[in-house]
A = this chain, B = another copy of it.
């Protein structure tokens, strides 16, 4: 294999894996999809999937055309002290989506989830498993589902209002103004006593 030939072949293999991931995710949901299963569906060695993608979140992001690995972002969020997780989550959320490319992408994701039940189920499993569940779990184990769900209501609503509805007072706010307003709410939900 010549050095000139390797890159296109590699990109083809990567594209093939991403396409297989889309099919697997649509058929089996987030929880039911594995890197091994995607490798099988793509007809490649599992090692090749691991070569291109750090893990399931990176593969999910590629399949959804999200321009970053959500796991890395949440790893960063979780480095905050437990009493500042709310602030950390809201700032990271606005940090990754408040770009011209990010705005277009999150609006498309939320619109798609709102209208296609399968896309909604997929996004929901992903958000619960990798994002809100992890953040709520960091704050403690009791009443995790309720606390993660409440965090999701506020974050999804913030995403819709800022990026889809472009609501006055929210779409035009500075990111740090929204951090100041919304972070205490997320922190409150994270700190709720379990029921």
Contacts and interface: CB of A to CB of B under 8 A. Distances in A.
Interface string A7-22: 0000000000000000
A168 B145 CA distance: 7
Is chain A's interface secondary structure helix, strand, loop, or mixed overall?
helix
Identical copies of this chain, number:
2
A153 B128 contact: no
A164 interface: yes
B189 A188 contact: no
Interface in A140-195: 145-150, 152-158, 160-162, 164-165, 167-170, 173, 177, 181-182, 184-185, 188-189, 192, 195
Interface of A: 110-111, 113-115, 120, 123-124, 128, 145-150, 152-158, 160-162, 164-165, 167-170, 173, 177, 181-182, 184-185, 188-189, 192, 195
